[in-house]
């Protein structure tokens, strides 16, 4: 079989060996000699394929280029009655295997892969003429080592036309109803047993019309169904079990997107993959959620984007937050008390472990979530905090808390979440969360204060002054007002005037305001070019502030030391940067930035072995973040390491991830120029 296949494919292919078989086709690994690459060859019977436009369709498919598609090298309609598709070999496992091994995926992971699927399907549908995949299913979705999807298997794809189109094959659970509406001439070619079954399906599917680009959208929804539940949806001509009947944690909005995409009638689905992708956007999901819509109807908010990196003043009292419910006793509250004591002792890892136990014991109570999110925020683990808070939905329980307590808790959760979004530079979602915090608790001055700060940093100074007036009307303290005025001056670029407002606040009894004033004053010095004064302020802040509050100051101090050392070359600054980084790491606050800065300090101190140990761990912990691979490449280029080959590998990995990061990084641009120079020198 394999030898015959090689003969059909021609002399450019050798080392043909079987991979798997099933369904309509067989898979083989092979070697494409001309390009010296490993390829996959899929062979399927051509019995359902019309012969009229074979060459044209093959050329269309071979010209497809997308980051989530394999390259298709050739499609051969062979005289042996088979169609051979030759495509890139994609390492990894398919989605079916992934879920079988690890179980159903989280909403966050599902959203990532759904957006990628929508992106590639939108690309296919935008071809002239559109390409309809017709067999999107977990077995045809590879999960690459980078954690992205790759949509494979185009043997069932159809090139859209206005004339009759019929599915070559279907996969039950993922095929839309219209795919069963097969023309009689195709059913007539089937074996008798199959013919009887298909005749029934075709009759039932006749009312659903013909295949269109919306056919693939049904399959995308069905794949999401499988990802979230671990179960294959029922046959589309049967009654599909609603997602609401599964014990899974997803928002109403995501459930609505999936259910719409799986509507039996194609006209009830999204009009395009682009429209479905838009519906999967974070903001769109929030706006579609019924709780958000109910809240939105009760108020009118101006769209804002979060502009303050320091919305932490409320956090200093949050760990002592205790709802006044009479029913909160027993084991759950004992765990909360234990976690409070661990956090007070700066045992963040222990506190988080205890809070995890509390959440497992009672996932409906809000106490553990609040404390855990605050710890994650304080230790700079913003993305983990987002994961924790963005996927939970609490319903008011009068036995657990009063309405006022519930509103306050929701406000604080949104406040923390908005702060994390800002630090992750996800400004749109941060704006929504901050606005919701204001709405949930309209009497909290700091929310108005931060809204004013946000508007100022966005350059909306008139709006900021209006919010400042609202802050005063809400009874904001002199300190809040002074801080807001300082932020407005800071946003306007009047750094000296801003410092005049911030400095009196550094001695505030409110540790949150003191913390914020120190950090803002230091930033004013930074942007004024006075690094010495910046370091002085941050050092003083670390002296007078509680270590639990001074995380951001410590991280900023490390960066300031490295910046000054980069100019002066003074090893003392590198030593100081390393000392502060080590302190943060020893406290369990080993964020990505902290670890990268520690490795950088070690590298410049000539302690490259220690730097290599840290970066090796970073790459293992953050395999899909380009920064770790980038720093590893730079380290391997260091004269003390001089591993050019290893640097090239790390650079290629960083470059692949950097392209999808959507940002510009001067270090990465510098590394790229170095690698180009090295490549040129070798030629």
Is the pLDDT score of 159 beyond 60?
no
- Contact status, residue 437 vs residue 414, Cβ threshold 8 Å: yes
Q: pLDDT class for 279, splitting at 50, 70, 90?
A: confident
Average pLDDT along the chain: 79
Q: What is the pLDDT of residue 574?
A: 95
By DSSP bridging, strand 141-143 and strand 149-151 are antiparallel
Q: What is the pLDDT of residue 394?
A: 61
Q: What is the pLDDT of residue 167?
A: 55
Q: Which of 629, 574, 596 is nearest to 637 (CA)?
A: 629
Percent of the chain with pLDDT over 70: 81
φ and ψ at residue 590, rounded to 5 degrees: -85, 70
- Contact status, residue 140 vs residue 94, Cβ threshold 8 Å: yes
Lookup result for tokens 């390491």: 641
Q: What is the pLDDT of residue 165?
A: 54
Q: pLDDT class for 1, splitting at 50, 70, 90?
A: very low
Q: Average of pLDDT values for 223-244?
A: 89
Is the pLDDT score of 219 beyond 60?
yes
Q: Average of pLDDT values for 117-121?
A: 93
Distance CA 13, CA 5 (A): 9
Q: pLDDT class for 321, splitting at 50, 70, 90?
A: very low
Which residues are 44's β-sheet partners?
25, 83
Is the pLDDT score of 299 beyond 60?
no
212 is written with which tokens? Answer: 């269109």
- Contact status, residue 143 vs residue 116, Cβ threshold 8 Å: no
Q: pLDDT class for 280, splitting at 50, 70, 90?
A: confident
Q: What is the pLDDT of residue 7?
A: 58
pTM higher than 0.75, yes or no?
no
pLDDT digits (tens, 9 = 90+) for 603-629: 999 999 999 999 999 998 888 888 999
Out of 10-19, 59-68, 144-153, 582-591, the most confident range is 144-153
pLDDT digits (tens, 9 = 90+) for 95-111: 998 888 888 888 888 99
Is the pLDDT score of 307 beyond 50?
no
Q: pLDDT class for 378, splitting at 50, 70, 90?
A: confident
Helix H segments across 304-402? 331-344, 348-361, 367-378, 382-390
Is the pLDDT score of 166 beyond 70?
no
- Contact status, residue 13 vs residue 6, Cβ threshold 8 Å: yes
Q: Average of pLDDT values for 352-375?
A: 82
pLDDT digits (tens, 9 = 90+) for 430-445: 777 777 887 888 778 7
Is the pLDDT score of 457 beyond 90?
no
pLDDT digits (tens, 9 = 90+) for 493-514: 899 999 999 999 999 888 878 8
Distance CA 365, CA 396 (A): 10
5 is written with which tokens? Answer: 């296949």
Is the pLDDT score of 269 beyond 90?
yes
- Contact status, residue 268 vs residue 260, Cβ threshold 8 Å: yes
Poorest-confidence range of 19-23, 89-93, 663-667? 19-23
Q: pLDDT class for 424, splitting at 50, 70, 90?
A: low
Report the Cα 64 to chain-centroid distance in Å: 26
pLDDT digits (tens, 9 = 90+) for 394-419: 666 666 667 777 777 788 888 888 77
Q: pLDDT class for 559, splitting at 50, 70, 90?
A: very high
Residues whose CB is less than 8 angstroms from the CB of residue 18 and which lie 6 or more positions away in sequence, other chains included: 1, 2, 26, 27, 28, 29
Domains of the chain from N-terminus onward = 2-88 (3.30.200.20), 93-287 (1.10.510.10), 606-683 (1.25.40)
Q: pLDDT class for 371, splitting at 50, 70, 90?
A: confident
């Amino acid at each position: 079989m394999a030898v015959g296949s090689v003969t059909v494919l021609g002399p450019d292919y050798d080392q043909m060996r079987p991979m798997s078989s099933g369904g309509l086709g067989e898979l083989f690994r092979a070697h494409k000699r001309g390009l010296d690459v490993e390829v996959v060859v899929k062979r399927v019977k051509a019995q359902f394929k019309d012969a009229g436009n074979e060459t044209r369709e093959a050329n269309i498919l071979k010209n497809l280029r997308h980051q989530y598609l394999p390259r298709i090298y050739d499609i051969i309609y062979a005289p042996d009655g088979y169609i051979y598709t030759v495509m890139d070999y994609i390492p990894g496992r398919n989605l079916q295997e992934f879920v079988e091994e690890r179980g159903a995926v989280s909403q966050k992971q599902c959203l990532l892969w759904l957006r990628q699927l929508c992106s590639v399907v939108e690309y296919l549908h935008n071809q002239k003429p559109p390409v309809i995949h017709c067999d999107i299913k977990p077995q045809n979705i590879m999960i690459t080592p980078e954690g992205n999807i790759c949509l494979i298997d185009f043997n069932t794809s159809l090139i859209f036309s206005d004339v009759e189109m019929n599915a070559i094959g279907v996969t039950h659970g993922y095929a839309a109803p219209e795919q069963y509406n097969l023309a009689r001439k195709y059913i007539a070619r089937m074996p008798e047993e199959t013919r009887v079954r298909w005749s029934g399906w075709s009759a039932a599917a006749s009312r659903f019309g013909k295949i269109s680009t919306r056919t693939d959208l049904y399959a995308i929804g069905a794949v999401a169904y499988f990802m979230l539940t671990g179960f294959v949806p029922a046959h589309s001509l049967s009654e599909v079990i609603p997602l609401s009947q599964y014990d899974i944690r997803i928002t109403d909005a995501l459930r609505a997107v999936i259910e719409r995409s799986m509507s039996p009638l194609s006209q009830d689905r999204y009009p395009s993959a682009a429209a479905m992708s838009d519906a999967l956007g974070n903001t769109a999901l929030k706006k579609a959620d019924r709780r958000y819509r109910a809240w939105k109807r009760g108020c009118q908010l101006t769209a804002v984007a979060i502009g303050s990196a320091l919305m932490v003043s409320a956090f200093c009292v949050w760990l002592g937050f205790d709802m006044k419910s009479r029913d909160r006793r027993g084991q759950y509250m004992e765990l909360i008390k234990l976690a409070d004591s661990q956090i007070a002792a700066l045992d963040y890892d222990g506190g988080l472990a205890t809070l995890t136990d509390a959440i497992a014991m009672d996932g409906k109570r809000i106490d553990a979530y609040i404390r855990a999110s605050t710890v994650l925020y304080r230790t700079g683990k913003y993305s983990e905090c987002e994961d924790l808070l963005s996927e939970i939905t609490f319903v008011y329980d009068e036995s657990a808390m009063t309405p006022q307590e519930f509103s306050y808790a929701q406000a604080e959760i949104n406040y923390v979440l908005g702060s994390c979004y800002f630090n992750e530079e996800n400004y749109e979602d941060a704006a929504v969360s901050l606005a919701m915090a204001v709405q949930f608790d309209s009497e909290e001055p700091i929310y108005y204060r931060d809204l004013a700060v946000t508007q100022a940093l966005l350059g909306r100074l008139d709006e900021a002054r209006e919010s400042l007036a609202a802050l005063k009307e809400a009874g904001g303290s002199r300190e809040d007002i002074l801080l807001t005025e300082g932020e407005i001056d800071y946003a306007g670029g009047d750094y000296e005037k801003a410092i005049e407002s911030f400095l009196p606040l550094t001695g505030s009894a409110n540790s949150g305001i003191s913390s914020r004033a120190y950090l803002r004053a230091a930033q004013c010095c930074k942007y004024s070019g006075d690094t010495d004064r910046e370091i002085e302020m941050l050092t003083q802040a670390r002296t007078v502030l509680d270590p639990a509050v001074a995380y951001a100051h410590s991280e900023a101090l490390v960066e300031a030391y490295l910046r000054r050392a980069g100019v002066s070359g003074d090893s003392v600054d590198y030593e100081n940067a390393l000392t502060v980084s080590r302190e943060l790491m020893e406290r369990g606050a080993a964020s990505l930035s902290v670890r990268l800065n520690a490795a950088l300090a070690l590298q410049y101190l000539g302690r490259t072995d220690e730097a290599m140990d840290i970066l090796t761990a970073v790459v293992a912990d953050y395999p899909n973040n380009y920064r770790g691979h980038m720093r590893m490449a730079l380290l391997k280029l260091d004269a003390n390491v001089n591993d050019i080959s290893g640097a090239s590998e790390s650079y290629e990995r960083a470059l692949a991830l950097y392209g999808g990061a959507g940002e510009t990084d001067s270090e990465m641009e510098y590394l790229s120029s170095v690698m180009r120079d090295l490549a040129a020198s070798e030629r």
